[in-house]
Homo-oligomer: A and B are copies of this chain.
Amino acid sequence: VRLIAVILAGGRGERFWPLSRRSRPKQFLPLLGDRSMLATTLDRLDGLVDPGDRWIVTARDLEKEARRHAPGVPAAHVIGEPVGKNTAPAIGLMAWWLEDEGTDVAVVVLPSDHRVEPADRFQEEVREAARVALARQAIVTFGVPPTRPETGYGYIEAGEPVEQGSVFHRVRAFREKPDPVTAETYASDGRHLWNAGMFVFPPALMLQELRAHEPRLTDLLSRVPRHGDRSSLAALEPYYEAAPSISIDYAVMERSDKALVARARFAWDDLGSWEAVGDPGTRDAEGNTARGVVLLEDCGNVIAFADEGLIAAVGVRDLVIVRTPDVTLVCRRDRVQEVRAIVGRLKSREDLDGYR
């Protein structure tokens, strides 16, 4: 089985503002170490996917930045979408371009900004998923057994295993982000898994299922030249203009009987907030997490992230403090979701828009 990786790196998440910015969203940030999330995602593929078989789909204005974080990926494999239309148009396009790579190929679609550990287990499970995807002609997604009643993730309800003892299950349903009560049930019933947003499939099968369930998209694709020259990139404009903005979950996975879910044994987190960055493993005795040059004097439960310069804090608790070259954010830990309100206010004020 030859694996071809497609990394989705077009997100604009505002949850890590001010570290993440319009021009430098989460996938380009070194949230967990010295390297960006995108670079770490690529590192995780070493030994699994040949550098020449890696693709990155991002926004057009992020193409250049994406290439900086992906020096081993062929420049022509970094695709800048003229307009973001969720995951289905991007995955459909890649299936269309990769279909003629042969029948021994499995495409692995991966987010660019999640935590996945350890890499060797991840690789083992992706290889297994690719074998199953080809052998059974299935679209395999990964479901992570919940460790908490998370309301910020979508869930997959697993059905019967494909054979006794297998980690591959039929899919009973895809579930939207639940309310807290429902999340408690999901976290404990043993059937619901976190939707990790990863997919493994033969490209022809994905096209077949898109044709069956979202024919508008395959009609549009048929007008896009196969990849190989610049004309195919020029053709992306009308394709993206006309494509519906829908997720691959909605377009295919919820409708197709080819969907399988693999119970993941690797650790996964979508790093949806500063909370996730300040994870227990990096805390000091007072519950503080510090990155960069940080001095804390009698502080507790503080996440301090100095992207540049020094952060000093005295006598404060339960805060997220972020310093970037032009912005300082101070936010109560339990209100990080409201940072979007700040970003919204910046957007509405011409004089402050540059801080977005």
Contacts and interface: CB of A to CB of B under 8 A. Distances in A.
Interface string A324-356: 011111111011101101100110000010010
Interface in A304-322: 306, 308-316, 319, 321
B297 A352 contact: no
Interface in A80-105: none
B328 A316 contact: no
A295 B332 CA distance: 15
A328 B308 CA distance: 10
Contact of A297 (B18, B297, B315, B341): B341
A24 to B, nearest CB: 16
A323 interface: yes
A212 interface: no
A338 B315 contact: yes
A235 interface: no
A332 B314 contact: yes
A310 B341 contact: no
B310 A330 contact: no
Instruction: Please indicate which of the listed interface residues A309, A310, A335, A346 has the most CB atoms of chain B within 10 Å of its own CB.
Output: A310
Q: Please state the number of chain copies in the assembly.
A: 2
B331 A323 contact: no
B328 A328 contact: yes
A293 to B, nearest CB: 7
Given A293-B352, A295-B346, A346-B295, A310 B338 contact: no
Given A335-B315, A338-B315, A310 B328 contact: yes
A296 B198 CA distance: 38
Contacts of A328: 306, 309-312, 321, 323, 328
Given A295-B346, A346-B295, A352-B293, A341 B329 contact: no
Interface of A: 18, 293, 295, 297-298, 306, 308-316, 319, 321, 323, 325-332, 334-336, 338-339, 341-342, 345-346, 352, 355
21 contacts: A18-B310, A18-B312, A293-B352, A297-B342, A297-B345, A309-B325, A309-B327, A309-B328, A310-B327, A310-B328, A310-B352, A311-B327, A312-B330, A313-B330, A313-B331, A314-B335, A315-B332, A315-B335, A315-B338, A316-B331, A316-B332
